[in-house]
């Protein structure tokens, strides 16, 4: 079909030359060559268009798939970051809300322990039960808690040796022991924590 188109153009050129009075065979050959050149250029342009078109379409599809994968990856990363931020925020809020009560409870536990030692010749409390009366008298320093809840949020090392704690307190410029703490790793302190209060208590007791 394309060769027929080229020959038609060549014939058209020859007719044009003949109409202008060019009859010699040399001019006719030149005219036919001119027509073939035009046909070749037309065929080349058609071929380029036929090849580049599908290539461009294929590139567009590939680019579209790439953009979709990138968008999905960005969405997943953003969702994961939001999830992490929400989890961290929830933990921080929980720590803050629980920490206030836990901080007061730690102070109350230290005061109940020191009060017990004052009333029992410096002996360390052996268990929770010996502190129940002090708790019921408001020694916990936190309102709305039952004794069971207090025990679930605060721990006390009932195996501690007060003589050893007294010695450590006298030898160290800061608390080197940990005998009272929270079970949830929270506690917002205003002032000294429980072990610092005990450290000061033992230091004052050992001073002349």
What is the pLDDT confidence band of residue 94, given thresholds at 50, 70 and 90?
A: low
pLDDT digits (tens, 9 = 90+) for 34-48: 444 444 555 445 454
Residues 6+ positions from 105 with CB-CB distance below 8 Å: 140, 141, 142, 145, 150, 153, 154, 182
What's the CA gap between 103 and 181, in Å, rounded? 10
* 172: Cα within 13 Å, side-chain hemisphere: 16
Query: With a threshold of 0.75, does the pTM exceed it?
Result: no
Grouping H, G, I as helix, E, B as strand and the rest as coil, residue 156 is strand
Beta strands per DSSP E along 28-88: none
Between helices 25-119 and 194-206, what is the axis angle to 10°? 40
pLDDT digits (tens, 9 = 90+) for 170-208: 998 899 999 999 887 655 555 678 999 999 999 987 655
Q: Among candidates 206, 120, 126, which has minimal Cα distance to 166? A: 206
Measured over all CA atoms, what is the biggest interatomic distance in the chain, rounded to whole angstroms? Answer: 141
């Amino acid at each position: 079909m394309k060769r027929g188109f080229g020959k038609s153009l060549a014939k058209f050129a020859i007719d044009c030359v003949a109409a202008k009075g060019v009859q010699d065979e040399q001019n006719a050959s030149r005219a036919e060559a001119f027509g073939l050149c035009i046909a070749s250029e037309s065929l080349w342009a058609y071929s380029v268009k036929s090849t580049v078109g599908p290539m461009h379409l294929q590139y567009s599809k590939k680019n579209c798939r790439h953009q979709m994968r990138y968008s999905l990856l960005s969405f997943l990363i953003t969702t994961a970051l939001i999830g992490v931020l929400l989890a961290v925020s929830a933990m921080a809020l929980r720590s803050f809300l629980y920490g206030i009560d836990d901080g007061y409870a730690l102070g109350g536990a230290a005061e109940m322990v020191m009060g017990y030692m004052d009333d029992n010749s410096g002996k360390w409390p052996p268990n929770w039960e010996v502190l129940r009366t002090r708790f019921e008298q408001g020694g916990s320093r936190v309102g709305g808690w039952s004794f069971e809840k207090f025990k679930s949020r605060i721990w006390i090392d009932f195996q501690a040796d007060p003589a050893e704690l007294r010695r450590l307190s006298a030898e160290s410029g800061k608390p080197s022991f940990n005998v009272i703490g929270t079970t949830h790793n929270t506690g917002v302190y205003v002032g000294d924590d429980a072990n610092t209060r005990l450290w000061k208590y033992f230091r004052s007791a050992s001073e002349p």
